[in-house]
A and B are shown apart, each in its own frame.
Chain A
Amino acid sequence: MEQKDLYKELGQIRSLMEKSSKFVSISGLSGVLMGCYALVGTLLGYYIIYQPQSAVLLGGNNLERSQVLLIIALTILFLSLVTGFVMARRKARKNKQSIWNMTSKSLLFTVSIPLLAGGFVSALFFIQGYYQLVAAMLLIFYGLALTAGSIYTFAEVKALGIIEICLGLIVLAFPDKGLLLWGLGFGVLHIIYGFIVYKKYES
Chain B
Amino acid sequence: MSILAANEEYDFNSLKELLEVTDGNLASNLKTLEKEEYIVVEKSFVERKPNTRYKRTAKGLKAFENHLAALENLIKQQYK
Contacts and interface: CB of A to CB of B under 8 A. Distances in A.
B71 interface: yes
B68 A13 contact: yes
Given A16-B2, A102-B7, A102-B11, A6 B74 contact: yes
Contacts of B17: 97-98, 101
Nearest to B64: A13
B10 A20 contact: yes
Contacts of B26: none
Nearest to B18: A20
A18 B6 CA distance: 8
Interface in A2-49: 3, 6-7, 9-10, 12-13, 16-21
A127 interface: no
Interface string B1-22: 0110111011100100111000
Contacts of B6: 16-18, 20-21
Contact of A17 (B3, B9, B78): B3
Interface of B: 2-3, 5-7, 9-11, 14, 17-19, 68, 71, 74-75, 78
B66 to A, nearest CB: 13
B40 to A, nearest CB: 16
A97 B11 CA distance: 15
Contacts of A6: 71, 74-75, 78
Contacts of B10: 20, 102
A49 to B, nearest CB: 46
A100 to B, nearest CB: 9
Nearest to A104: B14
Nearest to A15: B2
Contact of B18 (A9, A10, A19): A19
A1 interface: yes
Contact of B7 (A10, A21, A97): A21
